[in-house]
Amino acid sequence: VTNPPIDPFREKVVMSLQCPIGPEANILEPSPKQVHRLWLKQPVISISDLDVLVQTNHRSWSSHVIDITFPAGEGSTGYLKKLQHIFAEAEEASQSNQIIILSDRKGGKENIPISSLIALGGVHHHLIETRSRMKVALVVETAEAREVHHICVLLGYGADAICPYLALELASSLRDQGILDTSFSDEAIFQNYAQAMQTGISK
């Protein structure tokens, strides 16, 4: 919060949502490693962008996807057990990967998604405690994030990038049904959505 408040429209020149993600080098020891990071124009990424991150091998980078769902039949015991498993898996993945993706894609009748906020916040702080947080980027692939507030809270909980896949797939489905302009491509839908999110985050 600034006083007087910054107007994100009139003072756009001094505001930016660009964010470098990935391993951070020691700022007290200047080296080329400090710029060997992935630079995103803004924190909301498309489904195709996420696919690129999942498959990346650029500069020997690799990513690891962590499923944040648990079997519905296991109840609260399974919930707590899965949380601990997520933390342990993230810690192990941080030793050999540069990107960790927390995903609830497998959620459904048989598997219940753990709240992306709980999973993200827990992993973020667990990696801080194990001195591994600076080694990786935390990306969230979730159906929960739909509105500006959802995105902002995830960013506040430690997300480096967010793929709100359900919102994007829903918009594409509405286009296919003729409810939205059928001339919109998936990329156009994403750009419109991302622009709306950027405007909201900046405000």
Domain 17-202 annotated CATH 3.30.70.20: no
Q: Model pTM greater than 0.85? A: yes
Q: What is the pLDDT along the chain (203 residues), one digit of tens a residue?
A: 667 777 777 777 778 888 889 898 888 888 887 888 889 999 999 999 999 999 998 888 999 999 999 999 999 999 999 999 999 999 999 999 999 999 999 999 999 999 999 999 999 999 999 999 999 999 999 999 999 999 999 999 999 999 999 999 999 999 999 999 999 999 999 999 999 999 899 87
pLDDT, residue 28, reads 87
pLDDT, residue 16, reads 85
Residue position matching structure tokens 């156009």: 188
φ and ψ at residue 31, rounded to 5 degrees: -160, 165
pLDDT, residue 2, reads 66
* DSSP track, the chain: --SSPP-TTTTGGG----EEES----TTS--GGGG-SEEESSSB--HHHHHHHHH--GGG--EEEEE-EEEGGGHHHHHHHHHHHHHHHHHHHTTT-SEEEEE-TT-SSSEEEPPHHHHHHHHHHHHHHTT-GGG-EEEEE-SS--SHHHHHHHHHTT-SEEE-HHHHHHHHHHHHTTSS-TT--HHHHHHHHHHHHHHHHH-
Q: Report whether the peptide linkage leading into residue 32 is cis, meaning its omega lies within 30 degrees of zero.
A: no
**Domain limits of the chain?**
17-202
